[in-house]
Every structure is written in structure tokens, then in C-alpha cells.
Structure 1
Amino acid sequence: MNTEVTATVALASELSPDAVDVPAWLEDALLVPREEGWVKSGGCDMHYFRWGNPKNPGLLLIHGFLAHARCFGFIAPFLAQHYHVVAFDLSGMGDSGVREHYSDPVRAAEVEDVARATGLLDHAVKPIVIAHSYGGHVALTAMQEHHALFGGLIICDLMVLRPERLKAYFGSEKPLRSDPSRPNRVYPDYETAKGRFVLSPPQPVNVPSLFDYMAYHSLKQVEGGWTWKFDTGVFQSDFGRQERMFRQGEIIAETPGRKAIVYGQDSLLFDDDSAEYIHECGATDVPIIGIPGARHHLMLDEPIAFVSVLRTILAQWEAQSA
């Protein structure tokens, strides 16, 4: 059973108190009506947003590591005219519940359970999954296990580098938190907490108010101040297994179902050479589209271009299925 509320979005609750130079298109997008709700997956409360008419074909949007559904909160409204769009928080992140374990099979079950509970699987047209970064890892796992349920997967800037480049990257980057049992720090006020918010990998963004928006919704107020929403237990997920990351190109090629890839051409995790590498791995039928000027967090850099690319892929797939 899912609990749901229909929300007329108030900008004051969506935008951070220190947001400046908010573009008109962003305000308009955030004011598009949506529904907010929670569904169960394996006993865990899964938080989601929904836009558009449920009578339309479905889209399921999955965010990246330590992020939340609102990274698509200003993207989904541009897709909702023709689609029934659902974006959800993976467990242990955003406003979803926490678990003892965050394995790949658990993540795959979350994808199916949210799609089923929100009605995306009830439509005659199978829903398309759009997934960013770690969400692409989750979506690939879900497609391997449940590909018959979905009409395709658009992977957005998932980390894919040739093995020699991946070794160099891991050698130069700090590892993920080594002690998942260490609780998140509580900061005395929002300004201090926000000052510790960084993107991974670090990068500037082309729309600063989107950085403010992501930071604001990555934090929550608790006794004694502000802290991060994510559960530190997520660092024990299967995502950190480097052996899988060294096979990412082959995994994309082997995963059944229709696929496309979108990436930022200035990304540190996926670039033009990554596109060539994936084709060399056997995914020769997968269209790979780079967005000039965008980095890994392409929805923060070139949101309108990102929307335009997604719309184009979806329209082409719809025409091919007609």
C-alpha cells in the first residue's frame, strides 16, 4: 500500500534560504504540480515524487550515490507533458528509510517495487528507466534481473573508464569512507553544514542555484543542528567493488534490453574515450551522446540540454515502437 499526498509546490520550501539568481525556468519547473508518497520495498519506506498523467507511458528516474530524487526534481517536469514520471530516493538516501544491508539484489528489488507500486508497470507501454551515475549501476542490475518489465534504459554519466585509466583514477582519488559505522557529523547551523557540501567528483556548476538546491535537500535538521540525510551504511554496498567497475563496459554490453548513454563531455568519469571503449566491449548498437560543456553532474551544468537529449532519445524509441 502506498501513502500519497498531492502537492502544490511552494517555492519557499523547495529553494534553499540562501538561493540567489534563481532562473525563471527553474522556478517554473519547481512549481509544476506533483505527488509525493512512500511505498514499501522489503519492509523499507521508499520516498518518491510523481509528475504527469498516469495514463501516459512511464519513466522511472534514479539518482546517484549519496544524492536524492530531487536531482531530477527540475528535470522531470519537462518530461511530464507526455509521460508519467516517477523519481524516488534509494533506501539509505534522501527521505527513504534505512536498511541493515544495501546489496545489488536489494537495489534491483527497489526499482521493481517502486515501479509496480506507482503503477508504471500497469501501462501497456513498458516504462523507461533513466539513471544517473550510481543509479546507472542500480539500473543495470535491475535490467539484468527484470529486463522484461522495462522498455529501455538511459544511462547518464555512469563511471566507465578503460582498465588502465581506472587504475590511475583509483590511485589518485581518496577512497570512500572506510568506517561506515561512524555516524554523520552534526553541524551547529545550516550555513556551516552547507559549507561542507561538495560534489563528487568536485566540480563547479553552470547554474549555482542548482548547487544550493542540491545541498539544501541533502541535509536535515536534527537535535543540535543539521546533518546529512544519507545513512553511512550505504558505504558497505556492492557499488564499491572495484572488480565490477573494471567490467563496466562488458556489463553494459551484456545487459539485455534497449539502452542509450548520455554523458557530459567534460566529465572525469565518462568521456569520449569511454564511448569508444564501450563500443569495443561489444555494445555497438548503443547510442552514446555527449553534452558539450557538461561535467559529471550534467543536470547541474546543462539542464536544458540534458532535457533535450532525453526527449530526443525517448521520441526516437517511441517512433521505433510504433
Structure 2
Amino acid sequence: MTTETVDLNGHPFFLRRWGDPALPKLLMLHGFPEHGGAWADLAPYLGERFHCIAPDQRGYGRSWAPAGVENYAASALVSDMAALIGCLGGPVTVMGHDWGAAVAYGLAMFKPELVDRLIIANGVHPVPFQRAMASGGAQSEASSYITFLRRPDSHEVLAEDGFARMKQLFMAKMDTGWLTEEKTQEYLTEWARPGRLETMIHWYRASPLRLAEPGVPLGDLPDLPKERLQVHCPHLLIWGLEDSALLPESTEGLEEFAADLTRVELPGLNHWLIHQAPDQVARAILDWLDR
């Protein structure tokens, strides 16, 4: 792995790279509460096919972290990564996990000329996810932690007692046997960077997605412009079936928005599948590419 800091739209972003720079490029976008180093488990398995590039996204790690929720609108997050693809000489294959999937989908939908192929691992397209969160059903209940995160003091609560509540949130209801003491210390280091926990959580505060209370569905959702939210490139969705934060219903109807969609389900894996079984995730990607 090599590291560097690059200038994107006038601001510094920290990158990690793996593999031969002459190979096709794979842009890897992490989610919450991770950082670009989260891809260190998976990237070596893809090194024969791709040059892997993983930034710390806006508000995370050693990248630019402006204060203020208004700086974390989806359009700004997508603009950062569009600028990075421009520096890389795109188009590229884009992979996203968790919140990284939101940016990856944004690139594929709004900057299609920059994305050759789209790979998502336990992440969601905004329309099926909004439908599921608004239903008042199981996904509404599973996403109830978002209400807490959107509180103006949530970052302070999560940081108390050496990030005790943060660790509980990170590990809730899912196997974290992969989370070694060394990896735990890596996360603690990233969360402890001045102001970073607050700016990481700003992604939730800035999101326009609405969450119903369990049993109380929302009936006043605006009509979304489906024609503008299409993924036209080949799309692979890899899903760890034991995910307790994002349920399968959060991807129902994805075919409406991705005509060239391949789904691969991985039993026994959860939201942290890229850490639990990077070999299985890589095999799903390489098999899809070969097909």
C-alpha cells in the first residue's frame, strides 16, 4: 500500500493505493464509521485485476473536514469523487459500501461518463431505501439509530468513555470476530482526530431521507424523478444476508433503476462482509467480471 494527499476542488484528500498503477482503476468508497483503510482486507485479493484507490472521504480520516452540516450534501460528496476520477483519468470501476454506496450511486446516476461499472456491497440506492425506511416496517425499526445520530450532540455522546457507545453502535447485533485489537486501535485513532466524529456524522444530518417510526408509515413522500436516478452501466450488488442494519427489503425494486443488475447473496455474512470474508467478496467480483 502507498499513500498520498491530492488536491480535489481546492481541498486536500488522503488516498491509499494498492497494486500496479498500469492496471484498470477501481475506486473504493468506504462508509460509516470507517475510512479508506477499511479496504485493506479486500484490495490485495483484487490486485491482479485492478489498481485499487481508496480515499478518506470528506469529513473522514486525514481528508478535508469542513465544519457545518451544509457541507455534506450528496452533491458535494459526489463532486469530490468526480474530481478524483478526473485526476485518475477516468472512467473507472466504482465500488461502494454503506455510505460509500450512496456516493457510488450518485456518480453512476449523475456522472455516468465517469463510471464503467458499479459494484455495491451492502449499500443502497436512495429510492428503494427511502421506500423501506418510510414503510414503518422492519427497515424503519432497523434504521432507528439514525434518529439518534441526527441529534446535535450525538458525536459527544458517542465519544464519551473512550468511545464506548461508538464501539457498541459499530458492533451492534452483528458478528465482529474480524475486529482485532489492532483494527480496533486503528478505528479509535481515526475517530479521535479533532472534529472528525462530528463531521462523519454530518453525513446523516445532511441527508434528506426520511425515517418513519415503526408502525407509523409516512404517506407524504414526494415523487422522485425515476428517469434521473438510473444506473446505465453494468451493476453488481453483493449482499451479506445477516446484515441487521440494512435489510433485504431496502433493495426491493432496484431493478427499476438498474437494467443491467446482477445480485450475489452471501449467506452467513453481515454488513461488515468486506472484512469478514474478503476472499468471498473478491471471488464474487472476479466471477462477475469474467462473465
CA distance in 2, matches of 1:252, 1:312: 30
Gaps spanning 5+ residues in structure 2: where? 212-217
Give 1:103's aligned residue.
Answer: 73
Larger relative contact order (C-alpha < 8 A, sep ≥ 6)? 2
CA distance in 2, matches of 1:293, 1:112: 34
Q: Which has the higher helix share?
A: 2
Provide the secondary structure at the position in 2 that maps to 1:140.
Answer: helix
Q: Shift in Å at residue 35 of structure 1?
A: 1.1
The answer to whether the Cα contact below 8 Å between 1:62 and 1:132 also exists between their aligned partners in 2 is: yes
Give 1:53's aligned residue.
Answer: 20
Query: Normalised by the size of structure 2, how large is the TM-score?
Result: 0.77
CA distance in 2, matches of 1:247, 1:259: 24
Question: Structure 1 residues 201, 146: closer, same or farther in 2, change over 3 A?
Answer: farther
1:141 to 106, 122, 126: 106
Query: Normalised by the size of structure 1, how large is the TM-score?
Result: 0.71
The answer to whether the Cα contact below 8 Å between 1:47 and 1:95 also exists between their aligned partners in 2 is: yes
The answer to whether the Cα contact below 8 Å between 1:262 and 1:291 also exists between their aligned partners in 2 is: yes
Give 1:237's aligned residue.
Answer: 206
CA distance in 2, matches of 1:176, 1:214: 25
Provide the secondary structure at the position in 2 that maps to 1:64.
Answer: coil
1:121-132 correspondence runs (5 A): 121=90, 126-132=91-97
CA distance in 2, matches of 1:221, 1:278: 33
Output the amino acid matched with 2:35. H
1:89 matched to 2:56: yes
CA distance in 2, matches of 1:44, 1:287: 36
1:1-322 correspondence runs (5 A): 34-99=1-66, 100=68, 101-117=71-87, 119-121=88-90, 126-159=91-124, 160=128, 163=131, 166-168=135-137, 169-171=139-141, 173-174=144-145, 175-180=147-152, 184=156, 192-193=162-163, 196-200=166-170, 202-205=172-175, 208-210=177-179, 212-220=181-189, 229-230=196-197, 231=199, 232-238=201-207, 240-241=209-210, 254-271=230-247, 273=249, 277-279=253-255, 281=256, 283-316=258-291
The answer to whether the Cα contact below 8 Å between 2:26 and 2:52 also exists between their aligned partners in 1 is: yes
More displaced 10-residue stretch of structure 1: 229-238 or 52-61: 229-238
The answer to whether the Cα contact below 8 Å between 1:59 and 1:129 also exists between their aligned partners in 2 is: yes
CA distance in 2, matches of 1:235, 1:80: 33
The alignment-based identity, stated in percent, is 18
Output the amino acid matched with 2:5. W
Give 1:29's aligned residue.
Answer: none
CA distance in 1, matches of 2:227, 2:173: 28
